[in-house]
Structure 1
Amino acid sequence: MVDKKLDNDVAQFCAITGASARDAKKFIEAHKRLDIAIDAYYNNPTAFASSGRQKSSTAPSTSKLGQLFDSYKDDEDITVNGTIKFCEDLEVDPEDVVLLAIAYELKSPQMGVWKRQGWVDGWKSIGVDSIKGMQGAIPRLRSRLASDPEYFQKVYNHTFDFARSEGQRSLGLETAIAFWNLLLPLGLSGGALAHVTTSDGDDDIKMDEEGWKEYQWWFDFLNQKGIKGVSKDTWVMFLDFIRSIDSKFSNYDMEAAWPSTIDDFVEYGKERLASGA
């Protein structure tokens, strides 16, 4: 049973990180838990590297990353034109959800803006210093964003500040819906947004396929109510809502500390369920 679990963990580790089975086993055996092992790998992928790989690997070059940054920058920062050229070189659509993970890793302060320090530190943390290396990192970042709940939440929360207009406290509704439409399908399909429940007195998380997934209803509700902006509280708590509330809203507690907008949505959702719409 233990061997089978280890084999399953190794397979999942390799699928998420792109690491070899030998390296995956070393990380898992060292850190015991799969999620901790994956985080450790992303923090230092060569910590348990196979000998052949370790010899050929070198630390990312600050100089190379600086030169690459300079090739895209406009004045001090990389801005819209440089971002477009960067996406072309990466062969990635500027609206690809993986760029939200890159924005988180590189601490991009807003859409289309990249700071030198964040660029250098971020790519060094990922472990690459060339366009080819960055292209290779994209599938790993996409897979991690899709499947790792903690990583998804970090990227999701960063997206609110990244997407918000300068000086605004809330996120415009159209913008919020556009980013939800990027993030939610990926997280739901990859497992990062899998519905979980915990029984009273039981710390074990249990998977439940009857989680709430009709996020288009949420968009319909916000539009019908005439909501102009989404607060950070609503943005953050909506992620908890998807992960914890069942498909019929039966475990939703109106007395809990949910934003009033989500309270109103649950009433809307229950009425919609009752009408069969």
Structure 2
Amino acid sequence: MGQCLSCFKNQANADISTSSHRKKDELTEIVTTHQVPAIMVSDYPQQEPLLQDNEHSIVSYKNNAVLQNANTVNSYGDCSGDTQRISDKTPKPFYQKLPSIPRTMSSLGSSEPRISESKINQLYDQYKDSLEDAILAEGIENLCNDLQLNPDDFKVLVLAWKLNASQMCRFTRPEFLQGLKNMKTDSIKNIQQKLNEITCELKTDSEQFKDLYRFTFKFGLDVSSGQRILPADIAIVLWRLVFTNNEPPILNRWLSYLEKNSHIRGVPKDTWYMFLNFCEFVGDDLSSYDDTEAWPSLFDDFVEYENDQMNQNVTKNNMKIQD
């Protein structure tokens, strides 16, 4: 108590002078005890013998280095500030303590096919028109040939549906690119395989089929002219096409009625949509049809026509029996 800074200095110098013959190993232990960073310890040679003439200055230099590094460690909160001994065991780096990633986790997503956008663009350029940036009728025909499909095949309609094509006989670059990305395909072989899978799914997935069915009406319209009603002849072709794999019992009689009545020029959107419900409701027996319900008038006319045909057939059969 009451000692000034000069007293501490004199005492420190006395301690240094009495320890002038300290061995180098002891100094190294002090340095190791305080875990002086290697970059600071390497600032002075450790293997060279201490020169007798300069041992006082060297010892002072090392003691200062030890004190400086001890203070440095204390400033980061690793030590208490006293000459507290730290374990000689060096802690393992943090990354060594992390658990290894399981093989199953490291390989997540590896089974997903890698789709190349450049391959899709190359495929598109192979079929696109020479004058317009779109795949038109000739290009679609060539694409169908490579897919080993007829242009009027059901799978071509499925492809147009998956590309979300805005109109018939025309695939734009954005439609083709995004559609194949969604299908996770970038080659002719992959398109063939995917179309087979989707076609099988449509046989059992009614919601997917309904989406395809609604798309088909839009697909048949001439959007360039603002068409909103599907021409009857186009509607007949598309009805036959969309029901390729799940033909309702009433379909042929319905299409025959449309073909015989030339005054039916077009099919509105609500009639197209409701026909799917109509097929599910009446089945093959039109006797369950109720004309008081909100069916399109075209269905009323069709059922009336079919009933007349049936009555005529019954009358003719009765006349034959009487004869």
CA distance in 2, matches of 1:272, 1:61: 58
User: Retained in 2: the 8 A contact 1:160–1:232?
Assistant: yes
Match of 1:180 in 2: 239
Query: Structure 2 counterpart of 1:262, which letter?
Result: F
Match of 2:292 in 1: 255
Deviation string, structure 1 residues 96-135 (Cα, Å, up to 9, x no partner): 0111111111011111111222212211111111111111
Instruction: Describe the SS at the equivalent of 1:257.
Output: coil
CA distance in 2, matches of 1:93, 1:224: 28
> Is 1:65 aligned with 2:101?
no
> Is 1:235 aligned with 2:263?
no
User: Retained in 2: the 8 A contact 1:73–1:82?
Assistant: yes
CA distance in 2, matches of 1:136, 1:262: 39
User: Retained in 2: the 8 A contact 1:101–1:145?
Assistant: no
Match of 2:154 in 1: 97
Deviation string, structure 1 residues 161-214 (Cα, Å, up to 9, x no partner): 1112343221121211111112224123xxxxxxxxxxxxxxxxxxxxxxx613
Instruction: Describe the SS at the equivalent of 1:250.
Output: helix
Higher relative contact order, structure no. (Cα contacts within 8 Å, ≥ 6 residues apart): 1
Query: Structure 2 counterpart of 1:221, which letter?
Result: Y
Consecutive aligned runs of 4 or more in structure 1 exceeding 4 Å deviation: 51-54
Name the CA shift for 1:246/1:93 in 2 (closer, same or farther; >3 Å). closer
Q: Give the deviation of 1:52 after TM superposition.
A: 9.4
Q: Give the deviation of 1:251 after TM superposition.
A: 2.7
CA distance in 1, matches of 2:160, 2:188: 16
CA RMSD between the two structures: 2.4
TM-score (ref. length: structure 1): 0.67
Name the CA shift for 1:247/1:70 in 2 (closer, same or farther; >3 Å). same
User: Retained in 2: the 8 A contact 1:98–1:138?
Assistant: yes
Name the CA shift for 1:54/1:184 in 2 (closer, same or farther; >3 Å). same
Query: Structure 1 counterpart of 2:250, which letter?
Result: E
Uncovered stretches (5+) of structure 2, i.e. residues with no partner: 1-103, 315-323
Match of 2:96 in 1: none
CA distance in 1, matches of 2:185, 2:116: 8
Query: Structure 2 counterpart of 1:111, which letter?
Result: M
Match of 1:160 in 2: 217
My pick for the range that moved more, 147-156 or 94-103, is 147-156
Name the CA shift for 1:99/1:217 in 2 (closer, same or farther; >3 Å). same
Deviation string, structure 1 residues 202-236 (Cα, Å, up to 9, x no partner): xxxxxxxxxx6132211222233321111111111
Aligned residues: 205
Uncovered stretches (5+) of structure 1, i.e. residues with no partner: 1-48, 189-211
Counterpart pick for 1:108 among 154, 158, 165: 165
Match of 2:184 in 1: 127
Q: Give the deviation of 1:54 after TM superposition.
A: 5.7
Instruction: Describe the SS at the equivalent of 2:115.
Output: coil
Q: Give the deviation of 1:276 after TM superposition.
A: 4.1
CA distance in 1, matches of 2:151, 2:259: 26
Deviation string, structure 1 residues 30-82 (Cα, Å, up to 9, x no partner): xxxxxxxxxxxxxxxxxxx9x99963543312221122112211221111121
Name the CA shift for 1:140/1:85 in 2 (closer, same or farther; >3 Å). same
User: Retained in 1: the 8 A contact 2:158–2:195?
Assistant: no
Counterpart pick for 2:258 among 222, 226, 234: 222
